[in-house]
Chains A and B, each alone.
Chain A
């Protein structure tokens, strides 16, 4: 293991050297500090509590390079994957790198651009936001992201501005990503009273490319700002996808996140929400679908550090084939956080013999005037419901699919975009045909 850590440490240092002159001293210093931090943390292992059910052996066996490289795709192939609704702005990333010619960024009151541009011009204001919520990283991979961060989106919505139409973040991975670790980092900042709607998707140009998407997302909502965040992870069947989302919510800010994880061989999404001022609200919904050879992991970490904040989480999973799901939902209420409301629910549907679910909801409560609850369940389709549908003329397969769709719909309907809802239902339908 030590040898591995040294190897990646050296690779990261080489990457930093290769960027010499294009980062500015300040960022170079941060990158070097992140490498040192990585060397201290190392990679997570099965004895690391947060990783006990999520092995990284496959990823380590495969290995990954830290380099900048991408394959250009034909424009029409990319456009076909655009969100069907009209968008306020669009940022397209191919193999982890921003593509200005495919993107569209002319908006009043909103600054939309790439992190690479900000690095190139040494935009201190933007660069100082890097790591403002994540620090140097909570685990080795997150530290590596900072050490070798390549690009990402920078979205800043000015005070009082409401962006009605969605801002689209589209990630495409093709052959150019093979064997690489992509380290994008997104910075989303909403100033006071601003509101926006973000659609973030991870798609593969072909289904079999093996790569590692190691991303970090830092989202800051100022007083009374509100963000709707719709995310779909549909990476290639061989891909590793690791995402750390950090939320910082100021007074009365409102975050509504809905996640769907349907792709990738191995995917892990962590949402860390820190309430910085009273009155904020955070809602998270999620759907995961794990089939043959897939592992899907969601880690939620709700930190009620101040009084009178609310959080609600609802995550549902469908397991088929040899799919494996891991769910960990921590609600933490600190001593001074009186008046907190926090409710978490996790339901899993096991459709096959070889599926596995490891669920671990947690409550860590240090204040008394609170209402907190969590629930987790693991079960299968109700035989009576299947019988009912069959008596109405459905065959067994149809009945089962219908019930699964119904189970998933509660989350699918949380997606505001009609085309995303349609696409997701389609994916679920196809997967259950298998």
Chain B
């Protein structure tokens, strides 16, 4: 579009803002994976025997599996023996007060723009920060505890609330689910555990920030959110990583369980390092996210803004088991440089009157490749199921790609299922109109793209919506010159 190459190149200089490495002494296992590594992870975390057994079962099953090849992404084969499966900051921070956290760590969060300190006093968002493999700080625990909400690191939950973890972990995403879920079940390091008791509306937004810092490490976090009958929770997740030449693996598992009338809103702003403009480095983001609307009238909503990672492979899904359950999926995925994303959702309708909405907006720029892959399945018993899916793709530049692969399987005649998809570039007429009103080319494109994504941004909690818009603008700098 309009502007000259030099301008574009200048803008391309505005690279990954979170790409610094923090020099913190860390305790890292040497690369490699075998049963001994799993035993070490488990013992370092002081886990009970049943947890180790779970891990080993998953590991043995993983050995029999093959890496999936069906996604519309290309990357060199991953050497699972070259990854270190555990890394933790050496000075274990004392959780009693944030003042005791390694100041360098705090500085990191400040650089990231995560105002742990500030939020403690102002914003009223409880934050759990996961640094490489270990959860380092959880804020607002006391306030939450008063309401009966459990919000803590997964490793702590395994020790403190073994019954809950044992009951729900793996109930939505069993270790046999897929290759990366099996790997995660074997080696998961840490993550977040949230439990909202019956009838409680969580008094504040819960938030976790994930960061991979150490070189050659993989991050395998595990998140579990259980919302008991009539409860409500909104959870936000953000991710960053430093710039490195080699690819790093991130294979997380997120499980949500919503009981009767419960409501879970899960928002993600994913901004892992995407690699440089030659396609070197970047995070491989292979994530399994799934929620089960177990009880009647429960509601799970996934919102994601995906701007980072070299390769993304992620399908936040809903199993709509109860009657009158609602599943929602709102997604904006941006790929530029050599980024590839294969993302979408599955809506499995099992209960009567279950409803689902899918809104997916893909933006591809430069050499980026973006695929929506979704499944809407209406089982024979799901009377009056309703689904509407809308997938729009915007193409910027003539070397990018956008794909749409929706699967629709209906076995009940009372179902109403609709799917629509469009693919086009930013319309010349719209641009012309904006330019005529005095907007620069860059501003006009940015405005049109924001409008394109509005439907999804509207679903994000307010603080995140602002962040997401900024992130989008930064991500597409240079791509829309």
Interface residues of A (CB under 8 A from B): 49, 53, 319, 335, 338, 348, 350-353, 355-380
Q: Which residue of A lies closest to B416 (CB)?
A: A379
Instruction: Report how far A377 CA is from B410 CA in the complex, Å.
Output: 10
Interface string of B166-208 (1 = CB under 8 A from A): 0000000000000000000000000000000000000000000
CB-CB under 8 A from A53, the residues of chain B are 409
Are A373 and B403 in touch, CB under 8 angstroms?
no
* B425 interfacial contact with A, CB 8 Å: yes
Pick the contact of A350: B401, B404, B415, B423 (CB < 8 A).
Answer: B415
Q: Which 8 A-B pairs have the closest CB atoms?
A: A368-B395, A350-B413, A363-B404, A359-B408, A373-B422, A378-B417, A372-B423, A368-B425
> In the complex, what distance in Å separates the CA atom of A255 from the CA atom of B70?
33
Task: Give Cα distance in the complex from A403 to B421, angstroms.
Answer: 27
Interface residue B280 (Cβ < 8 Å from any Cβ of A): no
Measured in the bound complex, the distance between the Cα atoms of B406 and A374 in whole Å is 10
Question: CA A53 – CA B396 in complex, angstroms?
Answer: 35
Within the complex, the shortest CB–CB distance from A46 to chain B, in Å, comes to: 14
Given the known interface contacts A350-B410, A365-B401, the answer about A372 and B424 at a Cβ–Cβ threshold of 8 Å is yes
Interchain CB contact under 8 A, B404 and A374: yes
CB<8 Å pairs between A and B, sample of 25: A335-B398, A348-B410, A350-B412, A350-B415, A351-B413, A358-B409, A359-B408, A360-B406, A360-B407, A361-B404, A363-B421, A364-B401, A367-B398, A369-B425, A371-B422, A371-B424, A372-B423, A373-B423, A374-B419, A374-B420, A374-B421, A375-B420, A375-B421, A377-B419, A378-B410
Contact of B404 among A49, A362, A366, A379 (CB under 8 A): A362
Once the chains bind, are B418 and A366 in contact (CB under 8 Å)?
no
Chain A hits for B402, CB < 8 A: 363, 365
Question: B30 an interface residue at 8 Å Cβ cutoff?
Answer: no
Which residue of B is nearest A369, CB measured? Answer: B425
Contacts of B420 in A (CB 8 A): 373-375
Given A357-B410, A369-B425, A370-B395, are A375 and B416 also a contact pair (CB < 8 Å)? no
Q: How far is the CB of A51 from chain B (nearest CB, A)?
A: 14
Contacts of B454 in A (CB 8 A): none
A41 to chain B, nearest CB (A): 19
Cβ of B56 < 8 Å from any Cβ of A? no
Is B470 interfacial (CB-CB < 8 Å)? Answer: no
Q: Who on chain A is nearest to B72 by CB?
A: A364
Q: What's the nearest-Cβ distance from chain A to residue B86, in Å?
A: 36
Q: What A residues does B422 contact at CB under 8 A?
A: 371-373
Residue of A nearest to B378 (CB): A378
B414 within 8 Å of A by Cβ? yes
**A356-B411, A377-B417 given as contacts; is B424 within 8 A of A370 (CB)?**
yes
| A contact residues around B461 at 8 Å (CB) | none
Contact of B393 with A by CB under 8 A: yes
Chain A residues with CB under 8 Å of B419's CB are 359, 361, 374-377
Counting contact residues on chain B (CB < 8 A from A), the size range is 20 to 34
Contacts A350-B415, A361-B419, A377-B419; A370 near B425 (Cβ below 8 A) = yes
Nearest CB on B from A86, distance (A): 43
- Measured CA separation A380–B423 after assembly (Å): 28
B445 to chain A, nearest CB (A): 13
Closest to B418 in A: A377
Asked if B408 and A357 sit within 8 Å, CB to CB, the answer is: yes
Residues of chain B within 8 A of A358, CB atoms compared: 407-410
Q: Which of A350, A351, A376 contacts B418 (CB 8 A)?
A: A376
Chain A residues contacting B398 (CB-CB under 8 Å) are: 335, 338, 367-369
Residue of B nearest to A379 (CB): B416
Contact check, B396 vs A365: say whether CB atoms are below 8 A apart: no
A365, B395: Cα distance in complex, Å: 9
In chain B, what residue has the closest Cβ to A368? B395
Given contacts A355-B413, A360-B408, A363-B393, 11 further A-B contacts (CB under 8 A): A350-B410, A357-B408, A357-B409, A365-B402, A367-B395, A370-B423, A372-B422, A373-B420, A373-B422, A375-B419, A379-B416
CA of A361 to CA of B407, assembled, Å: 8
Interface centre among A338, A351, A365, A373 (most CB of B within 10 A): A365
| A contact residues around B396 at 8 Å (CB) | 368
Q: What's the least CB distance linking A306 to chain B, in Å?
A: 15
Interface of B is mostly: strand
**Chain A minimum-CB-distance residue to B373:** A362
Is the C-beta of B399 less than 8 angstroms from some C-beta in chain A?
Answer: yes
Chain B residue nearest to A375 (CB atoms) is B420
Looking at the assembled complex, report how far the CB atom of B359 sits from the nearest CB atom of chain A, in whole angstroms.
15
Which residues of B have CB within 8 Å of A376? Answer: 406, 408, 417-419
Check if A366 sits within 8 Å of B413, measured CB to CB: no
A359 to B417, CA, bound (A): 10
A376 to B406, CA, bound (A): 9
Identify B410's interface contact among A356, A363, A364, A368, CB under 8 A. Answer: A356
Q: Could you say which residues of chain A place their CB within 8 Å of the CB of B406? A: 360-362, 376
Q: Are A362 and B405 in contact (CB under 8 A)?
A: yes
Q: How far is the CA of A357 from the CA of B404 in the complex (A)?
A: 19
Taken residue by residue from 245 to 259, chain B's Cβ proximity to chain A (1 for < 8 Å, 0 otherwise) reads as 000000000000000
Residues A380 and B403 in contact, CB atoms below 8 Å apart:
no
Query: Are A335 and B411 within 8 A (Cβ)?
Result: no
Nearest chain-B residue to A326 (Cβ)? B409
Task: Please name the residue on chain A nearest to B372 by beta carbon.
Answer: A363
Residue of A nearest to B375 (CB): A360
Q: How far is the CA of A17 from the CA of B403 in the complex (A)?
A: 47
Q: With an 8 A cutoff between CB atoms, is B400 at the interface?
A: yes
Inter-subunit contact B415/A378 (CB<8 Å) = yes
Name which residue of chain B comes closest to A358, CB basis.
B409
**Which residues on the B side are within 8 Å of A367 (C-beta)?**
395, 398
Identify B413's interface contact among A352, A368, A372, CB under 8 A.
A352
Residue on A nearest B408 in the bound complex, by CB: A359
- Tell me whether B93 is interfacial, beta carbon within 8 Å: no
Tell me the smallest distance from the CB of B405 to a CB of chain A, in Å: 5
CB nearest to B423 among chain A residues = A372
Q: Does B397 contact A (CB under 8 A)?
A: yes
Residue ID in chain B nearest A361 by CB atoms? B406
Residue of A nearest to B428 (CB): A369
Closest CB of chain A to B375's CB: distance in Å? 10
B403 touches A365 (CB 8 A): yes
CA distance A376 to B407 in the complex (A): 10
Residues from chain A with a CB closer than 8 A to the CB of B425 are 368-370
**CB–CB B393/A365 < 8 A:** yes
CB distance from B224 to the nearest CB of A (A): 32
Q: Is A353 a contact partner of B413 (Cβ separation < 8 A)?
A: yes
CA distance A369 to B426 in the complex (A): 9
Cα distance, A356 to B409, chains bound together (Å): 8
Q: Which B residues lie within 8 Å of A360 (CB)?
A: 405-408
Please name all residues of chain B whose beta carbon is closer than 8 Å to the beta carbon of A356 when the two chains form the complex.
409-411
Q: Return B64 CB to nearest CB of chain A, in Å.
A: 17
Chain A residue at minimal CB-CB distance from B422: A373
* Contact between chains at B404 and A378 (CB < 8 Å): no
Instruction: Tell me the minimal C-beta distance from B345 to chain A in angstroms.
Output: 15
B401 and A366 contact, CB distance less than 8 A: yes
Nearest chain A CB to B343 CB, angstrom units: 15
Give the CA-CA distance A375 to B395 in the complex, in Å.
Answer: 19
Q: Which residues of chain B have C-beta atoms less than 8 A from A373's C-beta?
A: 420-423
Query: How distant is A93 from chain B, measured CB to nearest CB, in Å?
Result: 37
Residues of B contacting A350 in the complex (Cβ-Cβ under 8 angstroms): 410, 412-413, 415
Task: Find the A residue at minimum CB distance from B405.
Answer: A362
Q: Which of B410-467 contact A (CB under 8 A)?
A: 410-425
Q: A368-B400, A370-B395, A374-B404 are in contact. Are A363 and B423 (CB under 8 A)?
A: yes
